[in-house]
Structure 1
């Protein structure tokens, strides 16, 4: 793949604060921070037990700005050629983050994440290492999992949903919490559902991905089929969660999540009319219902589902 010149701007030697903040994309932090909070709620004990607020706040900083934000900077660096076609106004191709600054920022935040994770315990440190490895390998050579369709979406789903959920659980309950029957399965199911959400984010870059040989699902399957597949992948894991909660004796939680899934089906009808146009809209509506269901499931786990 042909490489562009290092991004530069005649008047910019260092990135400004606004450009650096845009590089690490604060809007993307919500998913891992929310998953971490869900995991921390799921691992909680009785209502009278102490909740480690400061440790959970540290975990939120770890999952959001440091792991996710730093990985976003790394991805923008390694994707600078594709972004020069799809979104040339981004900080790196526009030159507002010049030279190799995006790479240095990403490396610095990865080191900070490792130190944070180490301070929060062995299990959290292991989860941090895995999340960083997956987050970077999405765009970084030699892996560049984003070029492999489902694999790229799965990597981001695990990094920003499943591992974040388990990180929250580890902070509150320690490594023993992973032995609870539904803790890891729910993290895995919501990681799988998030895979469909990640596919929606590929619709904005179809033309550039096609030109640069990135085999995202919209490129590989076509926009319509990729949208249908994404909807199915988002819905099926949630229906499995509903079934597991019902079997575990939590019918109210199961019914609430089932109602949220029905709401998503209604919103998916509009998404499928024009996936490229309505994917951002669905991210603000249907995905909101998806993440609300995550917290319902977390509360059910806190109150003994699968225990």
Structure 2
């Protein structure tokens, strides 16, 4: 959290801090949306257990791996922006962080294979999704590519990781992952790109010093804030237009109604002072975005 202080000594709590449990929630939710869009989920004990296992894969394991990996490669910039974090504060040795990264990704891939075998998949779509997600997380954080150095590529990779990838895993587990679903969720991830930009405002100074081209560094705080909110609103609106095109009109109206409060909070908080109000904006507006994702999943499942 902003303004936190170093001081935690319990190694297991530090490990959990590195995995950032708060970030698991949207990925777990993405699995729910994918299961809904598949049209194949039923409220049987087996399907509930399958979905819970897929949530374990997407949240604690793969998101935990991603977050730990990111903190490992961001230790220099965090020493400037957030020196209280576990790695720059020296609360955990680098060797233990490396071991945690390896254990989480291996466990995640193992659970993905288990899910494909459980579902009887001949082509292992959940495993392929997990492999792609693990690779994307690596090139996002690690040199030489380090996608996060580029504000556009890095934030889109982050948005897709939080929306498209868990959605694909949940959908593939209970149905056939079609090109239509993949393209729609990748478009939805452009709204996620906007959400990812919000996270860049807290580290503008460190990004500038280390040459990371985040959007607030590239365009300035005010312009980047407008880019952020326009991405969030326009691409949710594009999904609503698609729902109208397939005659899922009720779902489209509900999605539009969920976009409206996001616009209100953008005006109230984010656009007025993105550096001070980024966390307040996320807490206020993001519940409406994730509810909209479920509405879209249900619409596609019913179609």
CA distance in 2, matches of 1:47, 1:21: 33
Selected match of 1:112 from 103, 107, 111: 107
CA RMSD in angstroms comes to: 1.9
Task: Compute the displacement of 1:302 (Å).
Answer: 1.4
> In structure 1, what is the Cα distance between the partners aligned to 2:297 and 2:43?
18
Residue 275 in 1 paired to residue 274 in 2? yes
Matched, 1:66 2:61: yes
Partner of 1:295: 294
Question: What is the distance in 1 between the residues matched to 2:227 and 2:60?
Answer: 30
Matches of 1:46 and 1:119 in 2, distance apart?
Answer: 18
Structure 2 residue 255 is matched with structure 1 residue 260: no
Aligned pairs for 1:134-173 (under 5 A) are: 134-173=136-175
Which residue number in structure 2 is paired with residue 127 of structure 1?
129
Match of 1:227 in 2: 225
The runs of 5 or more residues in structure 2 that have no matched partner are: 1-5, 117-123
Structure 1 CA distance for aligned equivalents of residues 43 and 84 of structure 2: 51
For 1:3, the equivalent position in structure 2 comes to: none
CA distance in 2, matches of 1:82, 1:269: 30
Partner of 2:120: none
Q: 2:247 aligns to what? A: 249
Name the counterpart of 2:208. Answer: 210
> Residues 80-119 of structure 1: CA distance to partner in whole angstroms, max 9, x if unpaired?
0000011011010111112322122111101111111111
Distance 1:43-1:205 versus aligned 2 partners, 3 A rule: same
Task: Give TM-score scaled by structure 2 length.
Answer: 0.91
1: CA distance, partners of 2:189 / 2:226: 18
> d(CA) in 2 for partners of 1:157 and 1:236?
15
**Structure 1, residues 53-94: CA drift from partner, whole Å, max 9, x if none?**
111111101000111111110110110000001101101011
Instruction: For residue 219 of structure 1, report the CA deviation from its aligned partner.
Output: 0.8
Q: CA deviation at 1:186?
A: 2.7
Runs (4 or more) in structure 1 with deviation over 6 Å come to 46-51
Alpha-carbon distance in structure 2 between the residues aligned to 1:130 and 1:17? 28
SS of residue in 2 equivalent to 1:138: helix
Q: Give the C-alpha shift of residue 52 in structure 1.
A: 1.2
Partner secondary structure for residue 155 of structure 1 = helix
Counterpart CA distance in 1 for 2:58 and 2:246 is 30
Q: Which runs of 5+ in 1 are unaligned?
A: 1-8
Aligned pair 1:52/2:47, yes or no?
Answer: yes
**Count of matched residue positions in the alignment of Structure 1 and Structure 2:** 289
